[in-house]
Amino acid sequence: MLIVQKFGGTSVGDLDRISEVADRVCRAKKNGNDIIVVVSAMSGETNKLIEYAEHFSKTPSAKEMDMLLSSGERVTSALLALALEARGHDSISMSGRKAGIYTDDIHANARISNIDTANLKKSLKEGKIVVVAGFQGVNSFGDVSTLGRGGSDLSAVAIAGAMGADLCEIYTDVDGVYTTDPRVERRAKKIDKISYDEMLEFASLGAKVLQNRSVEMAKKLNVNLVTRSSFNENEGTLITKEENIMEEPIVSGIALDKNQARVTLRDVKDEPGIAANVFSTLAEKNINVDMIIQNVGQDGTANLGFTVPENELGIAKKIMQELNAAADLEFDSNVVKVSIVGVGMRSHSGVASRAFTTLADNNINIEMISTSEIKISMIVDEKYGELAVRSLHEAYNLHQRDEL
């Protein structure tokens, strides 16, 4: 098998951790696999470099930041290659450039445009373990570019896709994806397999295991993605095509997103352009609007509701007041979003009604509802967030979920 293994910042947080990673990589190699490792900067390094840069400039150029920040991953890649050599394995570190990762010309948030696998293939053929500095590529000017948040995951997934790897393992400090946050519901169970789409809903709902960009790329390139812990030997969660999952449960898990604030505009005149005006103005100011609900009343006025991240409520408030779009404005930051995710919903009726009944039984008022094919999201009072998660987890029997 060809396996791409990606180790994040905490997994290579210090020299001892790098040694443990080296041991793990060696085991995978000894099992007869070809291995490409992708590494992040040692935890703390990137922040240190950012602080250094901020010493000189509050608005450092993205190009120079890329030169600066890309060095952290280079260091880790060389150190891991040395650790592998010391364990008797022929190994080679590669910068993003050497690994053939080409990007567009947007510094700090570059997109991978293509991967030239020649050097990777050559080194694998020579029996080497290849260690690639993640988070970076090279642009059309020949300058180093970085891939933005979760960039090393992207490097790994893109390489796995381009190389047709059998598996792309993303190692972090958590065991995988859970049916819900174990700190909220300690009976939460690790999910063994989940579809790309479900994972995308989970990630956007606040599960911090993987950035959506990586999952989207894995889906596009058909990469079998595993998220697992580098701190133990537990099997992780496989994120794969729906077809690869034999028996989908109706509901995969419950997500809780506390970083929500609700804005309600009452008595908005129901005429074209008002909602468009509201949301285009918010977009201009880079406010991330999440759920949007509009109800039209019989008197020709409407109630318009939407949610924004809690820390953006202040700006959203100011914009709404300036727009004067409605007679009655209401802002509430004491809300959370509880979401039920599962591809099985598509073919099973009654999933939503069970959620509503469950919350009603617990006297939890639902302030907003929005649904997609594989997700139901509900805004509830902050103080009921955990209770909502636990009761829904119970209602869908997630703690009794069979191993698939």
8 Å CB contact between 301 and 270 = yes
Instruction: State which of residues 2, 53, 108, 184 lies at the interface with a second copy (CB under 8 A).
Output: 53
Say whether residue 143 binds a second copy (CB under 8 A). Answer: yes
Stretches 78-86, 189-197, 242-250, 383-391: which one binds a second copy (CB under 8 A)?
A: 78-86
Instruction: State which of residues 40, 95, 264, 339 lies at the interface with a second copy (CB under 8 A).
Output: 95
The residues pairing with 101 across neighbouring beta strands, listed in sequence order, are 115
Instruction: State which of residues 5, 11, 46, 77 lies at the interface with a second copy (CB under 8 A).
Output: 77
Say whether residue 17 binds a second copy (CB under 8 A). Answer: no
Stretches 18-26, 205-213, 274-282, 289-297: which one binds a second copy (CB under 8 A)?
A: 18-26
Say whether residue 81 binds a second copy (CB under 8 A). Answer: yes
Output Rg (C-alpha) for the chain, integer angstroms.
23
Say whether residue 38 binds a second copy (CB under 8 A). Answer: no
Stretches 70-78, 147-155, 254-262, 274-282: which one binds a second copy (CB under 8 A)?
A: 70-78
Instruction: State which of residues 21, 79, 355, 374 lies at the interface with a second copy (CB under 8 A).
Output: 79
Stretches 51-59, 220-228, 290-298, 391-399: which one binds a second copy (CB under 8 A)?
A: 51-59
Where does this chain bind a second copy (CB under 8 A)? 15, 18-19, 22, 49, 52-53, 55-57, 60-61, 63-65, 67-68, 70-72, 74-75, 77-79, 81-83, 85-86, 91-93, 95, 98, 142-144
